[in-house]
Chains A and B, each alone.
Chain A
Amino acid sequence: MGSTFGGINTAYTGLVAQRRALEVTGQNVANANTPGYSRQRVTMQSQGAGVQPAVYSRYEGAGDGVAVTGVERITDGFQVARQQVEHGNYSAADTHAATLKDIEGTFAEPSENGIQESMQDLYNAFAAVGESADPSASGPRATLLQAAQGVTDKLHDASTNLDQQWSTMRTTLDNSVAEINTTTQTIADLNLAIKRNTQAGVPANELADRRDQLVLKLSDSIGAVGRPGEDGVVDVLVGGSPLVSGVSASALSVKGNTNPNQLPPDPPRVTWGMDGTSLSVTTGTVGGLLTGMNKTIPSYKSSLDSVAASLASTVNAIHRTGYDTDPTGDPATGGEGRDFFGPADGTTTTPVTAANITVRITDPAKIAASATPGGNKDGSVMSLIANASDAADGPMASYKSLIGNLGVESQTAQTRLTTRKDVATKADEAVGSTSGVDTDEELTNLLGFQRAYESAAKILSTLDSSIETIINMVRG
């Protein structure tokens, strides 16, 4: 037989448990819109007979009420892991697509302002000299030199823009890694706090939420994934190596050249701060930046350099066969055609690039328009250059193929980005569907807990009045 006042205690445990449940409901509702908040649920356990069987005494009570055994954080480890992986993929795709879009901006094709148009203008200027009434007249020749200057300006601009884009990415990489280092340290600190709370039996749900948010941030920036460990801590891994191991964080640093024109043998890379060994990063913003700096931009720069080199070599080859307007007609003194384009340093050994291509001819009279010496009015060499403009392996063709490749690669990157974004959003939704707060649900629970609380209070008052009845009887 239970004690007379046992029921009062049972009712009391009910009041306490329901009140706790109401508090947690309040916390959930308060955080309904908090990013990264995982909803919480009070775990309750009914209290019954002791587990030790007794021979001489039997427990015959209805039970000892309810005990709050904990406040559980509702998450799904599988969904969270998927979210982290997909965020890494999404960020890398985002950075890659943005890199290519910027490169597209550099070339500004198709338009009247692009390199193609100015190359076409140049070839037409060659034709205008060669096919004018007077190929020796200085007017069309000066126009030709201006048009050539126009092409080299456009090539320099494009090359400089690519360099600037690269340098911006290099700075972004430095900043990203600095931020990653701060974040990993914070995660390690949070892990420590969580570990202590867990060991002390104190819930650390809010700390865990914050920590998981930071891990997701690392997924975005460097493609990190979390791996749950002992006592509620989470290790953070990049490419299989631990960035955060329990309560200690490893710092990263950025190594490599800051000059876009000097990639080998020291390309930009992320290394472990301790021993300087390289870290393989393929996803996340950092992965995207590394791909952009070490592959994408260098590849378009080298294509652009080829266009410049091809322009110089094809024009020079024909120009060298001509003779300028030197009236003596002496090939030795100045009749001979010289290089029309060359590298800025004036040598013949430095390879011509988009950055250094220069118009070598400054005097219109030195344009070698004639196929024969003697300063006559033959402009056939100019016509030959103009007619070579649509050669299958000429600079126009290689520039067109550069733009074609860029278009296809950028379009592919954007399509992939859309897919990655969808997948990442779905992964976010999956996490949200488990951990997210639904206010309707919380309100429904609120009603349940409220009713239960009211009922427990009712039981208390009923027991109270029952006991009162007995006491009044005794008083008689």
Chain B
Amino acid sequence: MTGISRVTYTSLAASSLRGIQGNLERYSQSQARLSSGTTISKPSDNPTGTVNSMTFRADIAKNKQYSANGDDGGAWLARTDSALQDVDDQLNTVKNLALQGRSTGNSDATARNALAAQVDQLRNGLIDSANATYLGRPVFGGTTTGTIAFDPTTGAYVGDTGSVNRTVGKGDSVRVDTPGETTFGSGPDQLFKVIDDISTHLKSDPTSLDADLARLDKVINGVRQAQSDVGARTNRVEALQTTAKARIDASSKAQGEIEGVDIPAETINLSMQQVSYQAALSTASKVLQLSLNNFLR
């Protein structure tokens, strides 16, 4: 078909109606975006945006979990840190008592017995510290189901060697328990073994205290090492938590940018759609008034 096609009143009416409906549809789409606050209500609205939005949603949820894991891990480590500090303090006191006992030597058994009694008291405190718990779980007991890591009577380790880890970032797992056997020594150099020996030797064999002091220094060393290790792990958890929180913020922002409506821009768009809808209406009403009928007598 070439040239100007024949225009009829009906086709004019039909095309006017089409124009009006098209305008109204765009008007309502803009209105829907504004009232829902989202530009993506189904995948076809923006396929790439949908997939990105889903990725960000998952990312936000994961990082919230990482952050919660970090909270728990941080609390474990804080509890461990204070217990280790207590142990350290008490061990220093034990060391002083042992040194006193050694210098008193064989001269004063009564004084040494008094020292031994103090050591025995400190042993109770040390048992308490070594059995420090976080939410009912001994922080030095590995993954044991029991509530203690060290037997109060024998001083033997009753925890297990399992480790408790917290995932604080993608691929970042931080150990939050502190192994009791590594920290407080094992075999003859185990903390409570040493304490018991000091107590016994204070009473009966002060000459052996030199060897005991050397063993005690080993234990103190282990505790201090554990303290610095706990400090390092705390730092790591905190840093990863900061990262997780930053990821939550960044992903929320990105998701908002993908899905969210630019309200000022959309409001202007809405006004524009309104104007063109009105224009279509008014054009239709003018055009459709025209008919030869109006000009014939």
How far apart are A107's CB and chain B's nearest CB, in angstroms?
7
Q: Is the CB of B43 within 8 A of A133?
A: no
Residues B134-161 near A (CB distance < 8 A): 134-137, 142-145, 160
Q: Is the CB of B43 within 8 A of A439?
A: no
Q: Is the CB of B145 within 8 A of A390?
A: no
Q: Is the CB of B145 within 8 A of A136?
A: yes
Q: Is the CB of B5 within 8 A of A433?
A: yes
Q: Is the CB of B11 within 8 A of A390?
A: no
How far apart are A88's CB and chain B's nearest CB, in angstroms?
21
Residues B52-73 near A (CB distance < 8 A): 53-55, 57-58, 61-62, 64-65, 68-69, 72-73
B118 at the interface (CB under 8 A from A): no
Q: Is the CB of B292 within 8 A of A439?
A: yes
A443 at the interface (CB under 8 A from B): yes
Q: Which residues of B contact A136 (CB under 8 A)?
A: 145
A307 at the interface (CB under 8 A from B): no
Please tell me which stretch of B94-102, B119-127, B164-172, B179-187 contacts chain A, meaning at least 4 of its Cβ atoms lie within 8 angstroms of it.
Answer: B164-172
Residues B275-297 near A (CB distance < 8 A): 291-293, 296
Q: Is the CB of A438 within 8 A of B43?
A: no
B265 at the interface (CB under 8 A from A): no
How far apart are B233's CB and chain A's nearest CB, in angstroms?
15
Q: Which residues of A contact B293 (CB under 8 A)?
A: 439, 443
B274 at the interface (CB under 8 A from A): no
Which of A120, A390, A407, A439 is within 8 Å of B46, CB to CB?
A: A407
Q: Is the CB of A132 within 8 A of B72?
A: yes
A306 to B135, CA, bound (A): 41
A437 at the interface (CB under 8 A from B): yes
| Chain A residue at minimal CB-CB distance from B10 | A436
A378 at the interface (CB under 8 A from B): yes
Please tell me which stretch of A424-432, A452-460, A467-475 contacts chain B, meaning at least 4 of its Cβ atoms lie within 8 angstroms of it.
Answer: A424-432
Q: A133-B134, A386-B167 are in contact. Are A404 and B7 (CB under 8 A)?
A: no
Q: Is the CB of A436 within 8 A of B8?
A: yes
| Chain B residue at minimal CB-CB distance from A130 | B167
B239 at the interface (CB under 8 A from A): no
A440 at the interface (CB under 8 A from B): yes
Residues B1-50 near A (CB distance < 8 A): 1, 5-11, 14-15, 18, 40, 42-48, 50
B217 at the interface (CB under 8 A from A): no
How far apart are A275's CB and chain B's nearest CB, in angstroms?
41
| Interface secondary structure of A, over-half rule | helix
B214 at the interface (CB under 8 A from A): no
Residues A267-314 near B (CB distance < 8 A): none
| Chain B residue at minimal CB-CB distance from A439 | B9
A125-155 vs B, Cβ < 8 Å mask (1 yes, 0 no): 0011001111010000000000000000000
Q: Which residues of B contact A107 (CB under 8 A)?
A: 43
Q: A376-B145, A377-B145 are in contact. Are A110 and B11 (CB under 8 A)?
A: no
A222 at the interface (CB under 8 A from B): no
How far apart are B25's CB and chain A's nearest CB, in angstroms?
11
A383 at the interface (CB under 8 A from B): yes
Q: A407-B50, A443-B296 are in contact. Are A110 and B57 (CB under 8 A)?
A: yes
Q: A127-B167, A378-B164, A396-B58 are in contact. Are A433 and B11 (CB under 8 A)?
A: yes
Q: Is the CB of B58 within 8 A of A390?
A: yes
Q: Is the CB of B57 within 8 A of A117?
A: yes
How far apart are A91's CB and chain B's nearest CB, in angstroms?
18
A250 to B144, CA, bound (A): 81
Please tell me which stretch of A188-196, A197-205, A333-341, A408-416 contacts chain B, meaning at least 4 of its Cβ atoms lie within 8 angstroms of it.
Answer: A408-416
Q: Which residues of B contact A32 (CB under 8 A)?
A: 9-10
Which of A407, A433, A439 is within 8 Å of B291, CB to CB?
A: A439
A84 at the interface (CB under 8 A from B): no
How far apart are B235's CB and chain A's nearest CB, in angstroms?
19
Q: Is the CB of A386 within 8 A of B292?
A: no
Q: A32-B10, A386-B167 are in contact. Are A120 and B259 (CB under 8 A)?
A: no
A398 at the interface (CB under 8 A from B): no
Q: Is the CB of A404 within 8 A of B137?
A: no
| Chain A residue at minimal CB-CB distance from B59 | A390
What class of interface size applies to chain A in its complex with B?
35 or more
Q: Is the CB of B44 within 8 A of A128?
A: no
A438 to B47, CA, bound (A): 46
B173 at the interface (CB under 8 A from A): yes
A380 at the interface (CB under 8 A from B): yes
Q: Is the CB of B8 within 8 A of A430?
A: no
Q: A407-B50, A439-B292 are in contact. Are A116 and B9 (CB under 8 A)?
A: no
Q: Is the CB of A407 within 8 A of B44?
A: yes
Please tell me which stretch of A97-105, A163-171, A252-260, A354-362 contacts chain B, meaning at least 4 of its Cβ atoms lie within 8 angstroms of it.
Answer: A97-105
Q: Is the CB of B11 within 8 A of A432?
A: yes
How far apart are A250's CB and chain B's nearest CB, in angstroms?
34
Q: Which residues of A contact B163 (CB under 8 A)?
A: 378, 380
Q: Is the CB of A404 within 8 A of B51?
A: yes
Q: Which residues of A contact B46 (CB under 8 A)?
A: 407
Which of A131, A327, A389, A432 is within 8 Å of B166, CB to CB?
A: A131
A380 to B166, CA, bound (A): 9
A2 to B147, CA, bound (A): 135
How far apart are B211's CB and chain A's nearest CB, in angstroms?
37
Which of B8, B42, B47 is within 8 Å of A105, CB to CB?
A: B42
A134 to B145, CA, bound (A): 9
Q: Which residues of B contact A123 (CB under 8 A)?
A: 62
Q: Which residues of B contact A414 (CB under 8 A)?
A: 44
A79 to B5, CA, bound (A): 13
A121 to B173, CA, bound (A): 20
Known: A110-B53, A378-B143, A403-B50. 8 other contacts (CB 8 A): A120-B57, A134-B137, A370-B143, A383-B167, A403-B43, A410-B43, A432-B8, A447-B296
Name 15 interchain pairs, CB-CB below 8 A, sorted by A. A110-B53, A123-B62, A131-B73, A133-B135, A376-B143, A377-B144, A386-B167, A387-B167, A389-B62, A406-B43, A407-B47, A430-B1, A433-B1, A433-B5, A440-B9
Closest 5 CB pairs of A and B: A407-B43, A407-B47, A410-B44, A133-B135, A438-B8
